[in-house]
């Protein structure tokens, strides 16, 4: 039961039918969402959030409560919904390649937000290659954490949904990075890059990053996959490509990375 959603709707003096209609879904679907029996898709979450005026990320972390621009980020999220050690890793690391296997989509959203916020805190440009329908969630969430103009300045979103050719993806990443560095006029600048794609067989980027020259840049590069969509063989292959691994709760060195001297 999402009591917070029910109370919020009642505070607006709206019926379930009214909220559903304005959110472009039927009442029974909304009722299941409010009762906690179903989770909304990102688009539906955004539509309901617009009607009732709240952060759509709340759907994916019911216990989530954003702080109001707390300095340093030590208490970025309440109720332990956010791992501060991972946030510090994102904030303090300037050059690394990392593969992220996530289990739950709500944890995925949290880590993308931490990645973005860490970059903004360091005045570091951050490029997110992801599904376009998620971008509104990220933008809305950042409004609760930092200055809107600063968030707009340092965050860049590129829809990856229809990029099916890996060569095109590599070209997009390379062009975006080089254009940013040229714009900044500082080839020593650090840029954060996050790539989220479902098809692992076509999107192993580890070795080919060298061809793009990314290894010669100060780049914090994360490639994210849903752990349930990756086979055991693909897990092993990816762990050989990246020096660091990340799960929903921790970051650690890959025991299978080909670059290890004791491999």
Task: Please write the tens of the pLDDT for every residue from 4-32.
Answer: 889 889 988 999 999 999 999 999 999 99
Q: Per the structure block, which two tokens stand in for 184?
A: 């900044």
DSSP 8-state class, residue 39: P
More confident of the two residues 206 and 242: 242
CA 38 from chain centre, in angstroms, equals 22
Give all domains of the chain, ordered by start, each with its CATH number.
3-54 (1.10.260.40), 71-253 (3.40.50.300)
The 10 Å CB-count burial string (b at 16+, else e) for 127-153 is bbbbeeebbbbbebbbeebbeeeebee
Separation CA 136–CA 145 (nearest Å)? 15
* Ranges 17-31, 140-154, 196-210, 229-243: which has the least confidence: 196-210
| Residue 204 or 109, more confident | 109
- CA 89, 94, 95, 99 torsion: positive or negative? positive
Q: What pLDDT does residue 154 have? A: 92
- Using pLDDT thresholds of 50, 70 and 90, give the confidence band for residue 53: confident
* Angle at alpha carbon of residue 111, lines to 109 and 114, rounded to 5°: 110
Name the 3-class secondary structure at 196: strand
Counting every residue, how long is the chain?
A: 263
- DSSP calls for 3-21: HHHHHHHHHTT--HHHHHH
Q: For residue 242, give the nearest of 216, 217, 222, 262 by alpha carbon.
A: 222
Q: Which helix (H) or strand (E) holds 97?
A: strand 96-102
């Amino acid at each position: 039961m999402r009591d917070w959603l029910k109370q919020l709707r009642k505070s607006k003096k709206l019926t379930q039918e009214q909220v559903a209609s304005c959110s472009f879904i039927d009442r029974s679907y909304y009722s299941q969402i409010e009762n906690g029996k179903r989770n909304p898709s990102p688009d539906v979450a955004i539509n309901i959030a617009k009607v009732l005026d709240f952060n759509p990320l709340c759907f994916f972390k019911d216990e989530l409560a954003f702080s109001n621009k707390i300095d340093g980020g030590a208490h970025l999220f309440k109720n332990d919904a956010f791992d501060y050690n991972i946030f510090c890793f994102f904030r303090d690391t300037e050059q690394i390649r990392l593969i992220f296997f996530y289990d739950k989509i709500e944890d995925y959203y949290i880590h993308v937000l931490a990645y973005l916020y860490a970059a903004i805190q360091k005045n570091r440009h951050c490029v997110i290659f992801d599904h376009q329908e998620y971008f509104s969630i990220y933008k809305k969430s950042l409004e609760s954490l930092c200055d809107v103009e600063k968030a707009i300045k340092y965050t860049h979103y590129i829809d990856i949904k229809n990029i099916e050719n890996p060569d095109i993806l590599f070209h997009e990443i390379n062009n975006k990075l080089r254009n940013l560095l040229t714009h900044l006029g500082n080839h020593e600048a650090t840029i954060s890059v996050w790539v989220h794609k479902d098809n692992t067989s076509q999107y192993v980027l580890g070795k080919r990053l060298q061809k793009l020259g990314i290894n010669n840049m100060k780049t914090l590069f994360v490639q994210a996959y849903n752990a349930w969509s990756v086979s055991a063989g693909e897990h092993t292959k990816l762990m050989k490509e990246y020096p660091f691994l990340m799960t929903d709760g921790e970051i650690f060195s890959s025991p299978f990375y080909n670059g290890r001297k004791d491999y």
